[in-house]
Structure 1
């Protein structure tokens, strides 16, 4: 049986659905994610694009692209963040907090060289991104 996870923006006007299992979960420490999230770290869940869809309120979904690798989507009514499409990676990041019933099981920290919140949890700490996503593939100490 395939599991479907549902979540909404802050006000509930937009509903998002992710089906199946994410291809990865972890934490991003880059300055863009930190600024967008207004937090010291961003918890991500990565999905194949065909596993994610907006099921309600599509007319209220806004988009902002600071660079070609990230198309950030949010609710235009409340400003609540929903997801980020990453076209070069062929993946969509549905923020972990957007899917409250998904058990968040992080496997990696990315862009850890930019961290402002050191986290000693035993997970791999990537300097930037894994090689398969265009990064150096280097890990750094906790």
Structure 2
């Protein structure tokens, strides 16, 4: 059987993501239980993220990146073993901009959920008449 060594060296976002979760958890000196509790996940769900068995939903990904104060892009795509994570003043300003955008996205999602819930309630009331 031929083994393609090139593919052995290529990491996907699913390979990089668990590494970074563990890296940032250790950097913040947190336990699995503590970080799961602070972010609103069960310990088993967080453990599944760290082991690469599952990947968080979009809003959960935003929540995790906000918690670690990094962008979703870094959290998903950056190989922290080969690329240093920038902690300069410019990076801090970028983090603030990212957090503002994340909050706007979350608010838009929450507004859309409320709107859809109202539409659903209106449909139920119409059918009940």
Same fold (TM over 0.5): no
Q: Which has the larger radius of gyration?
A: 2
TM-score range, shorter chain: under 0.3
Q: TM-score, normalised by structure 2?
A: 0.27
Larger strand proportion of the pair: 1
Q: TM-score, normalised by structure 1?
A: 0.25
Larger helix proportion of the pair: 2
